[in-house]
Structure 1
Amino acid sequence: MFNVTLENGTELDKKNTVYALVFGSVLALGLPLNAVSLWILLRCHSLKTPSAVFMVNLAISDLLLVISLPMRVYFYATGTWPLGDLACICITMFFRNNIRSSSIFITFISVDRLLAVVYPLRSRHLRTACNALKAAGLAWLFVFVVNVPESVGFARFLKGINESICFEFGPRPLPTSPLVYLQPVLVFSLLAVNIVSTALVSWTLRRRLNDSTRVRNKVNIMLLFAMNLMMFTVFFLPVSLFVLFKSWRPALTSLICLASVNCCLDPLLYYFSFDGFWKGKEDVDSSAARE
């Protein structure tokens, strides 16, 4: 068991207590919310529509993050890390994978909504469950392939410091490689896709503003896009930009805490807020396709 050496002990002890409380709260909320969401999606929607496929994968991504949080809570509550380097690497990769996979699947959801609203007829052959499953498979393959060189580099870094402290590196420089720029580039690129999708859908819905029977559905669709943009700008972008600004280094743990909250909001914003989530035969796709 390895103790963490802290500067300004009292102040950092207070910070670590706050971090433990935040991660513990995310664990307490995120686990049941995502587990219930996944159960409902599989029971009612059965991966029969693209949106169901992407939401199921988003829930899985969030659950993978949630199951890694107990050891973060333990670390910040006790100041010790008893599990060694391998567990540290795995838990770190779970967090990075959540940011990447969640941003990818949220973008898939945005593009799916874009096609359903703007090109409802021409996109039918593209918007199939089979194609969605292939896209999800490629996304997970990309995420895990990137993990291989990252894990090797991180393992070498941990061996180089000769102590297992996992999430806190004190005054030592963080591991660097060209791969550290992958996440900000990925998040920036996907954010641009979401912005363009939001603009196109908003323009299309404004053209149909007189269709009063669909006003509520239009509000729901735009709310979905607004929440997508919020997820990127509030939760994904700050922690991804960390590698570009050395002055942000003291705030790294705070940014990780903030980013982890996304797994609690995904079920609320994307699942429980929309009527189609609760209806096994009336998926959100059918509403959007009729627009």
Structure 2
Amino acid sequence: MRNMLNGTLEDGTERDMRSAGYALAFGSVMTVGLPLNAASLWILLSRHNLKSPSAIFMVNLAVSDLLLVVTLSMRVYFYATGAWPLGSIACVCVTMLFRNNIRTSSIFITFISADRLLAVVYPLRSRHLRTASNAWKAVALAWLLVVVVNVPESVDFSRFLDQYNESTCFEFRHRRPGIPALAYVQPVLVLAMLAVNIVSTVLVSLTLRTRLNDSARVNNKVNVMLIFAMNLMMFAVFFLPVSLAVFVKSSLTPLICLASVNCCLDPLLYFFSFDGFWKRKEEADTSVTRVVG
């Protein structure tokens, strides 16, 4: 009896320590990510014309990150108190916003890679494609896609909460008996976007080696390759593990913590994408042209 009691106390202490660690992790991401993304969005909107496809993609990426950061406060409260007072609808919304961040971030980062690919490898032939109008159409399609997928996912998730009478959120007492078909959407999407980023990175790297060897443009070349390296790192570290973890019967919380960190690193992508990130609109446009070649 004493051994059972000691085991229960140890399990409870370990669970409390783990929950405190999650609360600290999500709180840290929120503390860093909120001001960084808010400042990045303000700079992109106030100092850069939204006539550049890259600027349009980055604005939407910043919006996606801000939506994620706002929901982290609810995760902090849950893991700090162990209670979820907001009901199942709020739980579904918070979960969908996290999934949407992974999906839209992977799509917008891929759009940025594709835009750089066209600008570097096909600078003349791609001018009619790299327009603000086409960029907004692509962005609208991406948001529409994730919202359409959210509808059946939300219904399925709500049924799960009602069926097992789950009164908490993020950490559930029950496991689903199988893997729903909708669970394959995110892994397939992330893997497809990763493949596009890998191909883009290879093509741009080969082009930069053969065409941009003059020393005057080395700095810009390094910036361009840093963008692609960061994009691949985002997929390998933040997007892919949490997307594939649906097939593993274990807690997703550590991977969700890790994936949420992506919103703190996206501002670096904006900085390396624009030599003139802090400059006024006219100067920034010139800098963007110089970076992409």
TM range (shorter): over 0.9
Shift of 1:9: 1.0
Partner of residue 86, structure 2: 83
Q: 2:72 aligns with which of 69, 73, 79?
A: 69
- Tell me the equivalent position of 2:111: 108
Please name the residue that 2:256 is paired with: 256
- Paired with 1:174 and 1:18, the residues of 2 have a C-alpha distance of 29
Matched, 1:118 2:129: no
Instruction: Return the letter of the residue paired with 1:223.
Output: L
Partner residue of 1:236?
239
TM value normalised by structure 1: 0.93
1:128 corresponds to which letter in structure 2?
T
> CA 1:216–1:45 in structure 2 vs 1: closer, same or farther (change >3 Å)?
same
- 1:56 positional shift: 0.1
By how many angstroms is 1:161 displaced? 1.3
Aligned-residue offset at 1:209: 4.5
Q: What TM-score do you get using the length of structure 2 for normalisation? A: 0.92
- 1:224: Cα distance to partner? 0.4
Aligned equivalents of 1:270, 1:231: Cα separation in 2: 14
Asked whether the 8 Å contact 2:179–2:247 carries over to 1, the reply is: no
**Superposition deviation, residue 232 in structure 1:** 0.2
Which residue of the partner structure matches residue 227 of structure 1?
230
AA in 1 matched with 2:276: G
- SS of the aligned residue for 1:68 comes to helix
Q: Does 1:268 pair with 2:268?
A: yes
Q: Secondary structure at the match of 2:123?
A: coil
- Distance in 2 of aligned mates of 1:116 and 1:265: 24
Q: Identity, % of aligned pairs?
A: 72
Report the CA distance between 1:76 and its aligned residue.
0.3
Other structure's SS at 2:276 match: helix
CA distance in structure 2 between the partners assigned to 1:99 and 1:38 by the alignment: 18
Letter of the aligned partner of 2:152 in structure 1? P
Deviation of residue 7 (structure 1)? 8.9
Offset at residue 82 of structure 1 (A): 0.3
Deviations 1:78-132, CA, capped at 9 Å, x for gaps: 0000000000000000100000000000000000000000000000000011110
One-letter identity of the residue aligned with 2:263: C
Aligned residues: 283
Query: Are 2:26 and 2:72, in contact at CA under 8 Å, matched by a contact in 1?
Result: yes
User: Which amino acid letter does the alignment assign opposite residue 266 of structure 1?
Assistant: D
1:212, distance to aligned residue in structure 2 (A): 1.0
Deviations, residues 236-282 of structure 1 (Å, cap 9, x unaligned): 00000012233xx13x1000000000000101233367423223223
- Structure 1 distance, partners of 2:269, 2:53, is 18
Deviations 1:176-234 (A, max 9, x none): 42110010000001000000000000000000343111100000000000000000000
For the structure 1 residues 146 and 135, does the alpha-carbon distance in structure 2 shift closer, same or farther, using more than 3 Å as the test?
Answer: same
Q: CA RMSD in A?
A: 1.8
- Paired residues of 2:274 and 2:291 also in contact (CA < 8 A): no
1:128 to 117, 125, 131: 131
Matched, 1:48 2:66: no
Task: Specify the code of the residue in structure 2 equivalent to 1:100.
Answer: R
Cα distance between partner residues in 1 of 2:272 and 2:113: 17
Question: What residue is the counterpart of 2:18 in the other structure?
Answer: 15
**Larger radius of gyration between Structure 1 and Structure 2:** 2
Aligned in 2, Cα 1:177/1:158: closer, same or farther, shift over 3 Å?
A: same
Amino acid at match of 1:113: R
Following the alignment from structure 2 to structure 1, what is the Cα–Cα distance between the partners of residues 153 and 266? 27
Question: Structure 2: how far apart are the matches of 1:197 and 1:163?
Answer: 44
Cα distance between partner residues in 2 of 1:82 and 1:275:
46
Residue identity in the other structure for 2:259: A
- The equivalent position to 2:33 in structure 1, one of 30, 33, 49, is 30
Correspondences of 1:171-210 after superposition (within 5 Å): 171-173=174-176, 176-210=179-213
Question: Does the 8 Å CA contact 1:153/1:175 hold for their aligned counterparts?
Answer: no
Q: Is the 8 A contact 2:227 2:272 kept in 1?
A: no
